[in-house]
Structure 1
Amino acid sequence: MTGLIQAAAPSAASAASAADRFITVASTTSTEDSGLFGSILPKFTAKTGIEVRVVAKGTGQAIDLAKRGDADVLFVHHKPSEEKFVAEGFSTERKPVMYNDFVIVGPAADPAGIKGGKDVSAALAKIAAAKAPFVSRGDDSGTHKAELALWKTANLDPAKAEPKESWYRSIGQGMGPTLNTAAAMNGYALADRGTWLNFKNRGPLTVLVEGDKRLFNQYGAMVVNPAKFAHVKAADGQAFVDWLVSPEGQKAIAEYAINGEQLFFPNANEPGA
């Protein structure tokens, strides 16, 4: 009997070890709030036995987390910041994974008169001219960075206006709270389409402006460099990134849809992505 117990012990230890195999991924709120991770991560874990624990932050905060060595993989959506992350040696390679787009949402009544427009600069100029409420994430996320860049295309910078523009509300929160605030205020906001499609509390909000090529939204993934942080689980992190860009991972991303509408479009092999 003793022999049986002793023989079983290593097997139990191995099972416990397998259960403890995980990586930490610093990612954006959009990959979490859209439901994408809930759809694709179980498929990766089932294939590899590696659990993925996501810390969902705005892109800027996610990058800071990875730069402190508190994540094994960074998965965000602001290409200039991603390329800087690699250039500074925090990763050795950025892999493009997928894209979707941003949309301007606002009240169906549309007091700024932007509905149906394809020119995001013109739409933002109309919102500013009407002094219609606009809710900004204000959290250094990829969406926030994109929003600030888009205001500049309209030769406007309401975030830095003095005195502060009362119609421009920067709330320092994620996409969900930003949309909730816009709904409560009958205001406008820039949203990533994935989170918008998964957002239930739309109230008076609807998509008003879409289709401008400047609303393109690319995502990239990077393994944190173990040369910077010896504790980084580089092999398992690389396994995750490799899976994301593999035919299997790209298929899993493409298959995620809400009400028949695809949220993200894999493009790991497209030049320039």
Structure 2
Amino acid sequence: MLFSRRIALAAIALVIALPFSLAQAQESKVIRLATTTSTENTGLLKHLLPKFEQQSGYEVQVIATGTGKALNLARAGDVDIVMTHAPAAEAKFVSEGYGRLPRQFMENDFVVLGPKRDPANVVGAENVQQAFSRIAEAKGSFLSRGDNSGTHMKERAIWEASGFGKGFDGYLEVGQGMGKTLQMANELEGYVLADRGTYLAYKGNLKIGIVFEGGPQLANPYQVMLISESKYPHLNHAGAKALSDFFVSATTQAMINEFLVNGEQLFKATYLAQR
């Protein structure tokens, strides 16, 4: 009787534990990636991730937001891996002990967009600070993402260097991702700072175009980073490492270079060139 009772209790315990074991097994096959809106809006991740999921058996859940929010999700231990494009914020994230194994794996650049008539005469600017200064002096309409994204951080740094900050009548923070901000700037015929990849993805639907480009200050490198194992042991670190390795592999680097929209290359792979 006692033996039978022990068997029954063991069976009940197994039934109770089984759903938790299955849930844990399913969870271990999911990788939560916090990334910027540019990698999502351009279609790059839809180009890359199916190959990774097919090869690895993992499912990648993409959370596309601004760089600041992506890093905050990682700081809270709510995602397994993060991909951003704000070098200073990323360096702080790593130095504070939240991030590890930062890998710069691709880049594009920022461009200043505006109406073809270019009322602020941005086209003739010598550098991007002067371009911004001319917009402010002309009291032109400038739309900012205003969302603490990598693009917003870059924009703020340029405004500070220009000496104007954001204190002029035409400045408008919209609190939106890059795609929405481009659409609003297009409707208002205003100026806007955008990453080239998202601009090219939306170019066919825009009247505004590039009025200033080039120079080291408009470089836009992307990094993928793992998250601290000691701070967040519950995260899917194995899956995150597999995804990070995938982004820097020779095959994926070639796929990044081959990714075109309307015949134009949106991103340049950089990892192998640095080795």
Q: TM-score range by the shorter chain?
A: 0.7 to 0.9
Give the one of 194, 204, 207 matched to 1:204: 207
Tell me, yes or no, if structure 1 residue 219 matches structure 2 residue 222.
Answer: yes
Q: Which residue of 1 aligns with 2:13?
A: none
Change (3 A) 1:90 1:19: closer
Separation (CA, whole Å) in 1 of partners of 2:163 and 2:27:
53
Separation (CA, whole Å) in 2 of partners of 1:198 and 1:180:
12
List structure 1 runs of 4+ shifted beyond 4 angstroms.
Answer: 17-20
SS at 2:217's partner residue? helix
SS at 1:94's partner residue? strand
Asked if the contact 1:180–1:201 (Cα under 8 Å) also holds between the matched residues in 2, the reply is: no
Give the one of 180, 189, 212 matched to 1:177: 180
Q: Which residue of 2 aligns with 1:8?
A: none
CA RMSD across the alignment: 2.1
Amino acid at match of 2:251: E
Larger helix proportion, structure 1 or 2? 2
SS at 1:150's partner residue? helix
SS at 1:145's partner residue? helix
Unaligned runs of 5+ in 1: 1-12
Amino acid at match of 1:238: K
Unaligned runs of 5+ in 2: 1-20
Q: Which residue of 1 aligns with 2:56?
A: 48
* Aligned-residue identity in percent: 41
Residue 19 (structure 1) shift: 9.7
Tell me, yes or no, if structure 1 residue 58 matches structure 2 residue 38.
Answer: no
Residue 117 (structure 1) shift: 4.5
Residue 21 (structure 1) shift: 1.7
Residue 91 (structure 1) shift: 2.0
Separation (CA, whole Å) in 2 of partners of 1:53 and 1:101:
26
Q: Which residue of 2 aligns with 1:133?
A: 141
TM-score norm. by structure 1 comes to 0.88
Residue 258 (structure 1) shift: 0.8
Separation (CA, whole Å) in 1 of partners of 2:264 and 2:111:
15
Residue 153 (structure 1) shift: 2.2
Structure whose CA Rg is larger: 2
Residue 176 (structure 1) shift: 1.2
Tell me, yes or no, if structure 1 residue 191 matches structure 2 residue 194.
Answer: yes
TM-score norm. by structure 2 comes to 0.87
Asked if the contact 1:133–1:187 (Cα under 8 Å) also holds between the matched residues in 2, the reply is: yes
Instruction: Figure out how many residues of one structure are paired with residues of the other and give that number.
Output: 254
Separation (CA, whole Å) in 2 of partners of 1:67 and 1:124:
33
1:207-226 Cα distance to aligned partner (Å, 9 max, x none): 11111221000010111112
